Chains A and B, each alone.
Chain A
């Protein structure tokens, strides 16, 4: 009898303890689930806030670029035009020996005028929108080719697809930032940009063959962070690969379906 009593006692206490453990685990699970949900919501709100900030930053930047573009076109451009005209007026009065210098100066002014007009176009978001991504990139590469120290080339694979104009500008600005870094630092003789249109994505690949960099050293540069956060804003995959002496490859994969026009 006593034995049986003990058996029962052990059985009952074991079951009670087990029940307690199950309750602990269930309570834990419920709390943890609620916490996870709360954290998700918080993260989402933070993400939205961050996106807003980046968007407004981009808008301000585009506005500034537009102002600079107008200034270049209407102010500096006009001044150069006037200079050209006055030079032309001066031409009949100049002695023959100095004519060649005058001609050269005139040519330099003409070239400057052209450069400033292209630059003004590429800086102005409106013209980039009107031209489309492909032409804007082409114009930018032509500008580099005129500098005469690198050979830039644009390849198009697949049929061109129309994409959201706002996104187009962002893609173009990312590429522009990359290209201007290439021109400044890479010492590359060659620059290839490839646009690949497929059914559901546009892949932009830009490659130089210059000095490259060590990926660890440059990760924290603000230019790179800017490029990344912009890409994230339009749900674009962004990657930069580089090794010292092996050049740099920038790849942007822009999804066409989720970012419909």
Chain B
């Protein structure tokens, strides 16, 4: 199978996760997790318009050499994705210290992104790896907070029946697992075209979306109080 064909499985698994999430929406529609589904659909939308845009060289920007870039879509997506997901975690956690830390993360992430675009990287032509890496780290810490809360709680919580447990596992695998790749992303993978490296990230992404889909199916209906 060629790399290009394999690439297709990423948006397909995204779409699958989003559709299954919609089917099982009744399980969590009364909780903050409903916003996760909206984010998921937004990712699917970005992925497909991104594909369309690069295929037809529309919706993006041309640089001085006439090369078409649609990176702004992904940069924008992550600019919305990280604060939204962090916010969902802050709402799923009770302990005040954790919640305050996560809120601090959100503000930090937004500031870092804006400063990055103003001073360091170009929003239109460059992949914003610095905000992306900090975002991943913030997300990982928030997920650990969530796990710690589950461990500390005196209630019997069957964790593998919790949707957020599966979402968290998926996030950890993809967003933390791809940090090393992200660090060198622009430099080596994009410009010099070492496409084999992309394979790792795609596999991680597919695992993540399958975990989401599995979580939607396997989880119990969420309680009103988390």
Contact = CB atoms under 8 A, between A and B. Distances in A.
Contact of A18 (B154, B158, B177): B177
A39 B156 contact: yes
Nearest to B156: A39
A25 B158 contact: no
Contacts of B194: 3, 7
Contacts of A24: 144, 147, 172
A219 interface: no
Interface in B166-221: 169, 172-173, 176-181, 184, 188, 192, 194, 196-197, 200, 204
Interface string A146-160: 000000000000000
B176 to A, nearest CB: 6
A64 B155 CA distance: 39
A24 B177 CA distance: 13
B169 to A, nearest CB: 6
A9 B181 CA distance: 10
Contacts of B26: none
A9 B172 CA distance: 20
B177 A21 contact: yes
Contact of A29 (B144, B155, B159, B173): B159
Interface in A4-33: 6-7, 9-11, 13-14, 17-18, 21, 24-25, 28-29, 31-32
A43 B176 CA distance: 38
A40 interface: yes
Interface residues of A, number: 22
Given A10-B197, A21-B176, A39-B154, A32 B181 contact: no
Contact of A21 (B151, B173, B197): B173
B150 interface: yes
Nearest to A34: B151
A25 B172 contact: yes
Given A11-B200, A24-B172, A39-B154, A3 B181 contact: no
Contacts, number: 61
A38 B154 CA distance: 10
Nearest to A12: B180
Residue among A9, A10, A32 with most chain B CB within 10 A: A10
Given A6-B184, A14-B177, A18-B177, A28 B147 contact: yes
B149 to A, nearest CB: 11
Given A7-B194, A25-B172, A17 B150 contact: no
Interface in A46-87: none
Interface string B41-74: 0000000000000000000000000000000000
A40 B154 CA distance: 11
Contact of B169 (A6, A25, A32, A43): A25
B150 A32 contact: yes
Contacts of B144: 24
Contacts of B155: 39
A30 to B, nearest CB: 11
A31 B151 contact: yes
A99 interface: no
Contact of B173 (A11, A18, A32): A18
Nearest to B148: A28
Contacts of B179: 17
Contacts of B173: 18, 21
A36 B177 contact: no
B226 to A, nearest CB: 16
Contact of B200 (A6, A14, A40, A43): A14
Interface of A: 3, 6-7, 9-11, 13-14, 17-18, 21, 24-25, 28-29, 31-32, 35-36, 39-40, 43
27 contacts: A7-B196, A9-B180, A10-B180, A10-B188, A10-B197, A10-B200, A11-B197, A14-B178, A14-B181, A14-B204, A17-B177, A17-B180, A18-B204, A21-B173, A24-B144, A24-B147, A25-B169, A28-B147, A28-B150, A29-B159, A32-B150, A32-B159, A35-B151, A36-B157, A36-B158, A39-B154, A43-B156
Given A21-B173, A39-B155, 13 more contacts: A6-B188, A10-B180, A10-B188, A10-B200, A14-B181, A17-B179, A18-B204, A24-B147, A28-B150, A28-B159, A29-B159, A32-B159, A40-B156
- Sorted nearest first, the 7 A-B pairs with minimum C-beta distance are A13-B180, A21-B172, A39-B156, A14-B180, A32-B159, A18-B177, A10-B180
